[in-house]
């Protein structure tokens, strides 16, 4: 696992977007696992800017989002498809037919089959919930490996209320999520965390033991994982596990 700590959220988002754009240039038909969340907004805005400058071409790319609310129609403004449309899809040249969300097709396991048929994920970009969830894989004694339906924890519903104009009662209780193995089977996993509100969970996920109680800690087991942090999110990591301020790659 490599950890990069950059001085600001902006520089961390920029580095993450450049990582994705570089992959698209090297491998235009890349299969990308994509997350939602406020952390990703500057990443997607940067990718849009890179696309406009001819530095990120999505024409041949295929995307599989990590998660989606159960019962959310694509036209629903709170849905993750609407989020992706708003921040990325409508501003780049990705084909609508090559963008996928769990739950849009029959049984959840179909999603894993579709990912396999597409050749597997080249890159899975992930954020981290303040309770350590990855996608919507909530902390538990046992994690589900493949794409599945999940009951959201109260803290997760609260964290997603911003998509529903702050109305907690409108946030769905159920969601579909890629499983932990679906995510970790990606050839590369990039985790981005920004801000002091993530410092404690970053310490537990990156600096603590691997545990299903902190699903994001399983990224430590991935052979090709990159963790991108800003200084605030890295604030509770021990000095020996992350060199601050200098963007040092370890």
First vs last C-alpha separation in the chain? 8
Q: Could you say whether residue 147 binds ligand GLP (CB under 6 A)?
A: no
Identify which range of 35-43, 44-52, 219-227, 237-245 contacts ligand GLP by CB under 6 A: 35-43
| C-alpha dihedral, 103 to 106 to 112 to 115, nearest 10° | -80
Closer to ligand GLP by Cβ: residue 38 or 246: 38
Binding status of residue 72 toward ligand GLP by CB under 6 A: no
Q: Which of 37, 102, 139, 215 binds ligand GLP (CB under 6 A)?
A: 37
Question: Binding ligand GLP by CB under 6 A: which of 35, 78, 102, 108?
Answer: 35
Per CB under 6 A, 48 contacts ligand GLP: no
Tally Cβ neighbours within 10 Å of residue 147. 28
User: Residue 128 interacts with ligand GLP (CB under 6 A)?
Assistant: yes
Q: Does 38 bind ligand GLP (CB under 6 A)?
A: yes
State in angstroms the smallest separation of the CB of 26 from ligand GLP.
26
User: 67 vs 230, which CB is nearer to ligand GLP?
Assistant: 67
Long-range contacts of 77-80 (CB under 8 A, 24+ apart): 77/163, 78/163, 78/164, 78/170, 78/171, 80/36
C-beta of 35 vs 94, nearer to ligand GLP: 35
> Rule CB under 6 A: is residue 79 a binding residue for ligand GLP?
no
The residues carrying an active-site annotation are 67, 131, 133, 138
Cβ proximity to ligand GLP, 30 vs 65, nearer residue: 65
135 binds ligand GLP (CB under 6 A): yes
Instruction: Please report how close the Cβ of residue 108 comes to ligand GLP at its closest, in angstroms.
Output: 16
Is 5 one of the binding residues for ligand GLP (CB under 6 A)? no
Return residues touching ligand GLP (CB under 6 A). 35-39, 66-67, 127-129, 135-136, 156, 159-160
């Amino acid at each position: 696992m490599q950890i990069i700590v950059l001085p600001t959220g902006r520089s961390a988002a920029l580095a993450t977007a450049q990582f994705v754009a570089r992959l698209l240039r090297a491998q235009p038909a890349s299969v990308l696992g994509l997350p939602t969340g406020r952390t990703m907004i500057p990443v997607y805005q940067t990718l849009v800017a890179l696309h406009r400058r001819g530095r990120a071409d999505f024409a041949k790319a295929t995307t599989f989002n990590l998660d989606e609310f159960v019962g959310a129609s694509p036209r629903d403004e709170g849905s993750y498809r609407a989020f992706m449309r708003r921040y990325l899809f409508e501003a780049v040249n990705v084909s609508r037919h090559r963008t996928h969300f769990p739950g849009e097709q029959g049984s959840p396991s179909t999603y894993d089959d579709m990912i396999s048929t597409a050749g597997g994920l080249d890159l899975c970009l992930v954020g981290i919930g303040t309770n350590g969830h990855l996608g919507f894989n909530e902390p538990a004694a046992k994690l589900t490996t493949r794409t599945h339906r999940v009951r959201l924890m109260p803290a997760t519903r609260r964290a997603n209320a911003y998509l529903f104009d702050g109305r907690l009662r409108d946030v769905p209780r159920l969601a579909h999520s890629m499983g932990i193995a679906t995510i970790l089977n990606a050839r590369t996993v990039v985790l981005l965390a920004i801000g002091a509100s993530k410092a404690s969970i970053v310490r537990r996920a990156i600096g603590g033991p691997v545990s299903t109680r902190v699903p994001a800690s399983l990224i430590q087991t991935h052979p090709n994982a990159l963790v991108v942090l800003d200084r605030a999110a890295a604030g509770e990591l021990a000095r020996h596990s992350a060199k601050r301020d200098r963007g040092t790659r370890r």
